[in-house]
């Protein structure tokens, strides 16, 4: 079993270190780790945010454990050299079109959500975000206009792109509470009209799944008003990016939500994938031991489940995280004072206590 570890920038290495401690404690047989540079650190060391050797390392692995990219010192570089292009490049080069972002309330954290505790307790949803298309990957540029410099970005989805992500979402819903909400802006966007019509065409293949549609502005509102109504949400790259950060705040902190990015490639043990927290490199807290490593540790659990076929280990990690959170060892993002390392150590102790 080969895992490519790409810690990246800012808090990426800090939270990845804690995930690797957990992985080490599992003492998996025949596991080889490879570590590569990605993002701002890769630009500074190799002149490119996604060096060819990093991409090759990711391709050759069964799974990729990713931290985060983003470095304020690189913000003024031409776009192709900016750290964020590395994660976009990995997602598209590796064909990872389905980004699964589960958000569920943790017992004991209800009072830390900005929502009423009874609403926070009811959150158990999965955002299925399309990851290879939309406005992030369209042509873009700058041109002159009567109003001065004008930036433009093409937004598009074709039927094939919508069909493959919708299949992933319908199948995910079949394994959960069988309810799928497709989120778009079909009242004003052509992209969304094709999206909605394509999702509706596919619904006939999944008669056991209840499908509804919601405009993204309403979805953002419903997510804080009554999040318990959602089971699986399927949406495009941009809307999914935003709604999943919002869902994380409803649960308690962006430091809690993990993600799996999957495509069609299978490995000897499962589906090839890239696993990362939903948060970024958090330059405002980097280097201070304040980052919550839970999202990175839960991303490792998703990696074990989806790419390495190790469900029991994944369940064990998830139970250890839940136990640690309810034991009140929490970081600053959850009103506590535990450091990144102390949170990782607490999770390790719980892991060792779980058979």
Ligand X SMILES: CC(C)CC(=O)C(=O)O
**CA distance linking residue 275 with residue 259, whole number of Å:** 6
**CA distance linking residue 128 with residue 102, whole number of Å:** 8
The residues in 52-71 that bind ligand NAI, with binding defined as CB under 6 A, are 68-70
Q: What SS3 state is found at 277?
A: strand
**Least CB distance to Mg ion at residue 277 (A):** 10
Residues paired with 4 in a beta bridge: 34, 64
**Least CB distance to ligand NAI at residue 86 (A):** 8
Q: Say whether 217 counts as a known binding-site residue.
A: yes
The two tokens of residue 227 are 């999040």
Judge whether 245 counts as a catalytic residue. Answer: yes
Please, which residues have CB within 8 angstroms of residue 29's CB and are 6 or more apart in sequence? none
Kindly tell me which residue out of 65, 291, 347, 348 binds ligand NAI, with binding defined by CB under 6 A: 291
The residues in 238-257 that bind Mg ion, with binding defined as CB under 5 A, are 241
Judge whether 185 counts as a catalytic residue. Answer: yes
Judge whether 231 counts as a catalytic residue. Answer: no
**CA distance linking residue 100 with residue 169, whole number of Å:** 9
Kindly tell me which residue out of 281, 299, 307, 324 binds ligand NAI, with binding defined by CB under 6 A: 281
The residues in 74-113 that bind ligand NAI, with binding defined as CB under 6 A, are 84, 87
Number of residues in contact with ligand X, rule: CB under 6 A?
5
Query: In the complex with ligand X, which residue's Cβ is closer, 206 or 275?
Result: 275
Residues in contact with ligand X, shown as a per-residue x/- string from 271 to 310 under the rule CB under 6 A: -------x--------------------------------
- Chain position whose Cβ is nearest to ligand X: 84
Helix ranges (DSSP H) in 157-306: 159-174, 190-203, 216-225, 237-251, 294-306
Beta strands in the chain (DSSP E): 2-8, 32-35, 63-68, 98-104, 124-130, 140-145, 148-153, 179-184, 210-215, 232-235, 258-266, 271-277
Residue 256 binds to ligand X (criterion: CB under 6 A): no
Judge whether 43 counts as a catalytic residue. Answer: no
Q: Say whether 291 counts as a known binding-site residue.
A: yes
**CA distance linking residue 321 with residue 319, whole number of Å:** 5
Residues of this chain that interact with ligand X (CB under 6 A) are 84, 87, 136, 241, 278
Active site residues: 136, 185, 217, 241, 245
Residues of this chain that interact with Mg ion (CB under 5 A) are 241
User: Annotated binding residues for NAD(+), as ranges?
Assistant: 280-292
């Amino acid at each position: 079993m080969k895992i490519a570890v790409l810690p990246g920038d800012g808090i990426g290495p800090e939270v990845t270190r804690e995930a690797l401690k957990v992985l080490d404690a599992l003492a998996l047989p025949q596991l080889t780790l490879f570590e590569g540079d990605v993002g701002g650190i890769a630009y500074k060391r190799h002149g490119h945010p996604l060096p060819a050797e990093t991409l090759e390392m990711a391709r050759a692995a069964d799974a990729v454990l990713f931290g985060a990219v983003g470095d304020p010192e690189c913000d003024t570089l031409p776009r192709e050299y900016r750290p964020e292009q590395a994660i976009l490049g990995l997602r598209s080069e590796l064909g990872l079109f389905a980004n699964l972002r589960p958000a569920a309330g943790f017992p004991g954290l209800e009072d830390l959500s900005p929502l009423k505790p009874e609403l926070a307790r009811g959150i158990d949803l999965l955002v299925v975000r399309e990851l290879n298309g939309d406005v992030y990957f369209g042509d873009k540029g700058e041109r002159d206009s009567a109003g001065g410099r004008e930036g433009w970005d093409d937004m598009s989805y074709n039927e094939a792109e919508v069909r493959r992500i919708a299949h992933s979402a319908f199948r995910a819903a079949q394994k959960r509470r069988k309810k799928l909400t497709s989120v778009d802006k079909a009242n004003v966007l052509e992209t969304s009209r094709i999206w909605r019509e394509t999702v509706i065409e596919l619904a006939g293949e999944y008669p056991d799944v209840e499908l509804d549609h919601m405009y993204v502005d309403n979805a953002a509102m419903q997510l804080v008003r009554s999040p318990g109504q959602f089971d699986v949400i399927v949406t495009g790259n941009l809307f999914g990016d935003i709604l999943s950060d919002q869902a994380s705040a409803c649960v308690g902190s962006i430091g809690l939500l993990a993600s799996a990015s999957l495509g069609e490639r299978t490995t000897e043990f499962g589906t090839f994938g890239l696993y990362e927290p939903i948060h970024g490199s958090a330059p405002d807290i980097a280097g201070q031991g304040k980052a919550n490593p839970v999202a990175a540790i839960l991303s490792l659990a998703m990696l074990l489940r989806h790419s390495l076929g190790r469900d029991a280990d994944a369940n064990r990690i998830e139970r250890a995280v839940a136990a640690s959170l309810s034991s009140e060892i929490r970081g600053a993002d959850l009103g506590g004072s535990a450091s990144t390392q102390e949170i990782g150590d607490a999770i390790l102790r719980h892991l060792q206590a779980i058979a």
